Chains A and B, each alone.
Chain A
Amino acid sequence: MTHFRIGFLPLVDSVLPIIAHESGIADKHGLSISMIKDPSWATVRDRLIYGQTDAAHLLAPLAIGTSLGLDQTKMTTPLVAPFMLGLNGNAITVSLRVAALMSVDHQSFPDVKQTGIKLAALAKDFAAKGRKLRFAVVHRHSSHNYILRYWLAACGCDPETDVDIIVVPPPFIADALMSGEVDGSCVGEPWSSVAVDRGVGQIIATTAQIWSRGVEKLLAFRKDLLDERREDVEALLRALHEAGRYVSDPANVKDVAEVLARPEYIDQPAVLIARALTNRLTLTRDEAEIPARDFLLLHNEAANFPWRSQAMWLYSQMVRWGHAPGTEAGFAAAADVFRPDVYRSALEGTNAVLPGASAKVEGAIRFPTGAGTVSGRLILGPDSFFDGRNFDPDRPMDYLAAQTQA
């Protein structure tokens, strides 16, 4: 029996390793797992780097930042990501005061472009009065930060100068909205639903509305560990893939939510956790749950496959906001963190769908489209950005140039 210690933050998208552990799936694959919960991404990262954990539920941009020496450690620790823990899964929530000023619908999801324009206008208004709107994200190197900035920038305000974007750990978001410390947030579930349930926030958008197949958390390993324990790692990926099938079966949602609700995991009511798992959200307290399209993809459409182009798009945003140098070499290094080759070799011979390509033009799929595979049948859902832009991984520098002009 080979053992994995896996670090995580209490979020719904930490579900796959938790369920692999709790359901006996890991056991079946000859693995034992211990889950190690921490309250900050810095500590999840440090435990991984210094070998207190073998793998970690990690923000994709943080894995890239750590690998490239762009984060606070200033140290280059090569990390690898052979498995994504899900696509999408974050919501943008504003305080009730801001929601009232924006007058957005709370019974159905408002159009994300219109909402963005309203929010950007309000932000500029506040900035002009000398009191900027303040948004919380979970980390500088997070898709939350980059998607929020992408949206605001495309809707007419400058995220650098018109708003303040600060870091607040997910479990404290509801408190921050309640006390007025922040006016809005972009955070993973269940923390927006917790804010809604406490009557301190209104969900105005999901990140899936901004980029319908957004790269999110991944399972990160130190590169040296992958090399030393390649077979173990591959067994773990098979267990996680199987856990994904289990979790995406609607018949199991109730059980899964109850496991996640336990104190050692998310420690929040199962009914709130179930929302993300069923792609249904409540936008304000006392409203009914409504469908939130593609809110969180944990398994279908080869959601766990690490597309190199996803890492490269994230890198383009790191460059855009001054977090990384805009070089071809930087793009290549970011792409190398994602390891589709390991994913394929781990899942070869199982019933998993294995895409043939390792990169795709992000944002180019408008309608469900068949994609080439090594095995299995793959239909990819729309992966468009709300502003209709595409990211071509063969021409990243052109994308950067167009971005600065925009």
Chain B
Amino acid sequence: MDKMILSKSDFPKVITEIIKKNNVYAPVKNNDTIIFDQIKKPSEMNLDFCNSKVPPKKLLFHQTETLFKFTPGTKAKIESVDINENNVIFGIRPCDAKSLAILDHAFQGDFEDPYFLKRRKNTILIGLSCNKPELNCFCTSFDDSPASSKYVDILFTDIGDKYYVEIKNDKGKQLTKNISNLLKPATENDTKKRKEVEQKAINMISRHQKTEGIAYKLDKIFENPYWKKVAFKCVGCGTCTYLCPTCHCFDIQDETTLTKGARVRVWDTCMNPEYTLQASGYNPRPARTNRVRNRVYHKYNYYPKNYDVIACVGCGRCIDLCPVNIDIIDVVTRAGEVKP
């Protein structure tokens, strides 16, 4: 791993250089809302944020993805969709980067998903350490750090007047080849400063979730009335799942006109009554209780059992944006205390 320093005045040059050969996605402001969008010049970015509203998973696992196009009728023609872009995501937070590694399990499990995986292969992640975690951030509950470089190709850390740049692998090296003249090797003092910044951020995190043995515990309380209590105030919207960086359920639909059609994949949410509704009319999750419980079990029971990792990264979006304050930190911590 290369540890380098980039002065803030040279930073726009770096981004401009990367934009020349890649589609660069970065946090931008639409009215007051921070979202990831493609940028054409560095000044479009807005780095004064904790986390974007919609997680950057949307750049690899599109909310609406055309799988292929076709012409309806007896002489049907099928046209595949080409995914061949070189993408760079700048400013992805370590928690969101981890979520992509979690999604890898689902998309390359029993079936390989060419859409996600191709994009994943063609995407370089430039992380940006989170120096100001907000109230509902809890990444440290999963032994992670707001300045973790584990899941990115390059990590930027703002250490005051300059960026501390960690180039993790060949993908990162390749990308920075043209700008190596702007990067200087980091001194010991810089490394110390980076550690201080990280520690400061870790200390800011005030909320923690108790996840010890949770997968095992959940096995015992599946039918517990606790879930009814949790679900009672749920209004059944899809905010928590759509804005979750690890939720990945989808629905497939054919959208046609008289002359053309497309098979599209769209995000689905387990909060939707239609979710898992079978053609027979039977629904294994008929009530909100079943669906709210499914969200928790998917993350804290099924995923750890299947892939040995909890499918939550502690970004806090579902807590921040739930209209009725269903708080996953609280829900899981209290589930741990429920008597089976």
Q: Do A and B come from one complex?
A: no
Q: Which residues of B contact A (CB under 8 A)?
A: none
